[in-house]
Structure 1
């Protein structure tokens, strides 16, 4: 598939011009070749309030709505126009990315490539605004900590990183699997569930519950194979996060998966030694 060359600018929230501190809150993306123009913005102030503690959230929302309206007008005008001159799209992004002393501004223009404009917009938004790389790091750190803990426990059969399943049917990689001969006795999959967005929490757990159920469907693991998901969550959960945990706890129980907080060392050790 041909790769498309695209240009983008990161939308920034900079409430204090004096200190020039900012947080990324969106992406504007164009593809001059295909005439693509679109954007993705974060309107929730919860994440930002922890850093900009004294700033009025209402002003943030007003500024974001105003900037969003400007982008939407440009997008609609482009849809109605028959002009698909690549220079027009470059000029539009240059205009939007011009230096401005405002609480909503942008970064310098960057260049990227991808197979799909929409997928690249989503990827950039996830990376710059939602810090997808940091979330991956949190789960990686959690996994390493759980692995270290289990290595220190004397077990008759070790826990090792294994690909479970059949290459030609269905498989998944797990960091901690205990086998007795060819039989898989236990699987441990640490999950980072500290996302601000409750939807992300549910989607992460749904993914791995589905993986376990599929492996059972293909008889890659037995019905009595013990499964545990040690998790890390936000310290001070919102009501939406609490609701998400009620749902995933119910679903994990239905799938015969033990969901346990990473700090409940006694439960994890009991599972490992059982």
Structure 2
């Protein structure tokens, strides 16, 4: 099977940007070759995050995740609705647009590249490694 170049960024929760402390809470993956754009955010298990940031309410974390989830879903739908020949350029542009540096509680790491047989499987693998941390995997 042909390996596909997938671009990905870690989604980071950083409520106190001046301290530059963060917790990885999700992954965004784009595969320009296929037009795939997917993401996965940790919305349920907030104890790890609220324990790390003393005094942070679960509601504050949940609200931040909800806003980011809505933005990523909007980008995904936008890519799915667009028609035309240059799906690779559109996928790259939307990925870069959504993962750009911003002043917010939810930020993104620098984009990285991984070769994968399946962008969907790579999204799950990366999520398990960087966010879920329930089983050892190699990246």
| TM-score normalised by L of structure 2 | 0.90
Paired residues of 2:30 and 2:36 also in contact (CA < 8 A)? yes
Tell me by how many angstroms 1:45 deviates.
0.9
Tell me by how many angstroms 1:22 deviates.
0.1
Aligned to 2:117: 115
The alignment status of 1:36 with 2:47, answered yes or no, reads no
Tell me by how many angstroms 1:85 deviates.
2.5
Aligned to 2:77: 76
SS in 2 for 1:71: helix
Gaps (5+ residues) in structure 2? none
SS in 2 for 1:34: coil
Structure with bigger strand share is 1
Aligned to 2:95: 93
Aligned to 1:60: 61
Q: Which consecutive segments of 4 or more residues in structure 1 shift more than 6 A?
A: none
Farther-moved stretch of structure 1 (93-102 vs 4-13) = 93-102
Tell me by how many angstroms 1:101 deviates.
1.7
Aligned to 2:18: 18
Structure 2: distance between partners of 1:80 and 1:136? 37
Structure 2: distance between partners of 1:90 and 1:31? 8
Aligned to 1:126: 128
| TM-score normalised by L of structure 1 | 0.47
Farther-moved stretch of structure 1 (81-90 vs 113-122) = 81-90
Aligned to 2:2: 2
Structure 2: distance between partners of 1:65 and 1:136? 28
SS in 1 for 2:23: strand
Tell me by how many angstroms 1:50 deviates.
1.7
Deviations 1:35-74 (A, max 9, x none): 1011000012111122112112211111111110111111
Structure 1: distance between partners of 2:64 and 2:51? 19
Structure 1: distance between partners of 2:87 and 2:98? 18
Structure 1: distance between partners of 2:136 and 2:110? 26
SS in 2 for 1:53: coil
